[in-house]
């Protein structure tokens, strides 16, 4: 692979032919205000891009290193969703069975017929809680699960869909704990991250803390050159502005909002937002969903189609735009521009992005410490995706 050192400030490697990705990555730093980031790409199970640059901390000057990891927010959902799908693949979980068959307390307040499939496809009807959780209760996965078990759905489960921005954490954690007897983060460590050698954690071990940078907000980029910035429709802007809207309530189920840089947050490993990973780990993870990586493959062909087959589509009760979901994964579309129509993965609010595209054999991971508000499709991630598309045709 070609060294990236000929581009000042860029470290790592890019295989011959993948120079457009390195060039886009450099432009993110010089034109789009990137503070620190990494990008990795696998193709057909082989790593072809592995680049990093900038500062490790959004508010500091220490350099980003090869093994620097960051909180990736909702990009965590794609990792967590693999757990119930793998349990189904192993015959331990029925996707069409009721959640209450595994989690008896969940059979309450109109959720008796909610299926595991509904839960994974954001059709469970519980994107909000009647009362927000304090940060301390939210970081206790069992306390969050208990709150969800008692919650009355805001629509009949299975009839509509809406992004379960935060409640996804406790839904998946509660289900997996009861099916396997293990916390979801431990299951990921033992069954996914360990065998694949991934620097990826849902629950950061204390000894890994020095590797993790600080994330924080960056100014909105506006109409940054080369960026895809979708100005919200009036109804979307109104939904985010109205404290009583389903949108605001879904994103405000933890009050006050927790500090994502604290040891407590990093250790909790919220399955919907608290994962910590390198770009290299995310790309390798998605490569293993669609094919073999050093002898390891996670999804068989049938499970792969479950992940990326459309399970929900149309107006999203929470995001107030049209969205598309497979079982646990966002699918390519205006709300989540990925590489191609067959791509599946998950963005993290404000920055990070990871996905697979089985048709091209591409698996992609991008991690940043600079989070941006008001961006539907982050210009930095989209610049990198366009560069990958340029290479793959």
Q: Per the residue annotation, which of 74, 169, 343, 352 is the catalytic one?
A: 74
Instruction: Give CA–CA dist 199/302, Å, rounded.
Output: 27
Residue 284 token pair = 């390798």
Residue 255 token pair = 């009050």
Task: Write down the residue that tokens 């990586």 correspond to.
Answer: 293
Terminal-to-terminal C-alpha distance of the chain: 20
Q: Are 165 and 250 in contact, with CB atoms under 8 Å apart?
A: yes
Q: Are 318 and 335 in contact, with CB atoms under 8 Å apart?
A: no
Please, what's the b/e burial string for 95-104 (b: 16 or more CB within 10 A of its CB; e: otherwise)?
beebbbebbe
Query: Is 74 an active-site residue?
Result: yes
Instruction: Give CA–CA dist 382/340, Å, rounded.
Output: 12
Instruction: Give CA–CA dist 97/113, Å, rounded.
Output: 9
**Strand partners for 312:** 325
DSSP, res 365: E
Instruction: Give CA–CA dist 161/328, Å, rounded.
Output: 12
SS3 at position 119? helix
Active site residues: 74
């Amino acid at each position: 692979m070609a060294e990236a050192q000929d581009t000042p400030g860029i470290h790592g490697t890019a295989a011959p032919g993948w120079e457009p990705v390195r060039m886009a990555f450099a432009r993110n730093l010089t034109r789009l205000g990137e503070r620190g980031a990494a990008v990795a790409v696998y193709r057909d199970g082989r790593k072809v891009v592995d680049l990093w640059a900038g500062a490790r901390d959004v508010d500091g000057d220490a350099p980003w290193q090869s093994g620097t990891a960051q909180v990736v927010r909702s990009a965590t959902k794609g990792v967590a969703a693999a757990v119930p799908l793998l349990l189904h693949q192993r015959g331990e979980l029925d996707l069409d069975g009721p959640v209450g068959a595994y989690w008896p307390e969940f059979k309450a307040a109109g959720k008796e017929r909610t299926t595991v499939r509904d839960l994974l496809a954001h059709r469970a009807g519980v994107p909000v809680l009647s009362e927000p959780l304090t940060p301390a209760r939210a970081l206790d996965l069992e306390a969050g699960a208990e709150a969800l078990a008692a919650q009355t759905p805001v629509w009949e489960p299975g009839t509509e869909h809406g992004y379960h921005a935060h409640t996804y954490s406790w839904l998946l954690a509660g289900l997996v704990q009861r099916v396997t007897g293990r916390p979801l983060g431990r299951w990921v460590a033992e069954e996914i991250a360990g065998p694949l050698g991934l620097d990826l954690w849902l629950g950061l071990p204390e000894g890994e803390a020095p590797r993790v940078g600080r994330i924080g907000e960056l100014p909105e980029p506006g109409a940054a050159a080369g960026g895809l910035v979708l100005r919200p429709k009036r109804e979307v802007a109104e939904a985010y502005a109205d404290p009583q809207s389903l949108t605001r309530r879904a994103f405000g189920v933890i009050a006050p909002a927790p500090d994502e840089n604290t040891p407590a947050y990093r250790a909790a490993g919220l399955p919907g937002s608290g994962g910590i990973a390198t770009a290299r780990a995310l790309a390798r993870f998605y490569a293993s969903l669609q094919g073999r990586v050093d002898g390891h493959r996670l999804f068989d062909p049938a499970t792969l189609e479950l992940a990326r087959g459309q399970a929900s589509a149309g107006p999203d009760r929470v995001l107030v735009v049209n969205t598309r979901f497979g079982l646990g994964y966002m699918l390519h579309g205006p709300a989540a521009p990925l590489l191609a129509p067959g791509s599946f993965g998950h963005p993290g609010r404000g920055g990070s992005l990871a996905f697979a595209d089985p048709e091209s054999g591409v698996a992609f991971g991008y991690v940043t410490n600079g989070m941006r508000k008001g961006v539907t499709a982050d210009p930095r991630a989209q610049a990198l995706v366009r560069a990958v598309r340029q290479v793959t045709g």
